[in-house]
A and B are shown apart, each in its own frame.
Chain A
Amino acid sequence: MRTSFSDNEGHKKHPAQRLAFRGLLLCLAIVFSYLEAQLPFLVIPIPGFKLGFANLVITFCAYTFGLPDAFFLSIARILIVALLFGGWIGFWFSLCGALCSFLVLALLLRFFRHAVSPLGVSAACAAAHNIGQLITAAVLLKSLSVCSYLPVLLVAGMLTGTITGVLVSLLLTYVPVSGYRSYKKEKS
Chain B
Amino acid sequence: MPESRKQIQTRTGRGTARKLSQFVCPGDLIVYGILITLTVLSVLLPFLFSAAVPESDEALNVRIQCGDTVSVYPLSEPREIVLENRGYTVRVVIENASVSVADSTCRDKICVSSGKADRAGEVIVCLPAHILIAVEGGSVDADIILG
Contact = CB atoms under 8 A, between A and B. Distances in A.
A158 B35 contact: yes
A141 B67 CA distance: 8
A177 interface: no
Interface string A86-99: 00010000000000
Interface residues of B, number: 33
A119 B28 contact: yes
Interface in B1-51: 22-28, 30-32, 34-36, 38-39, 42-43, 46
B35 A117 contact: no
Given A117-B28, A152-B146, A155-B39, A146 B125 contact: yes
A120 interface: yes
A143 B25 CA distance: 39
Interface residues of A, number: 37
Given A47-B108, A117-B23, A166-B23, A158 B32 contact: yes
A137 B127 contact: yes
A93 B147 CA distance: 16
A118 B22 CA distance: 11
Contact of B25 (A116, A123, A149, A154): A116
A73 interface: no
Interface of A: 45, 47, 89, 108, 112, 114-121, 123-124, 127, 137, 140-143, 145-152, 154-155, 157-158, 166, 169, 183-184
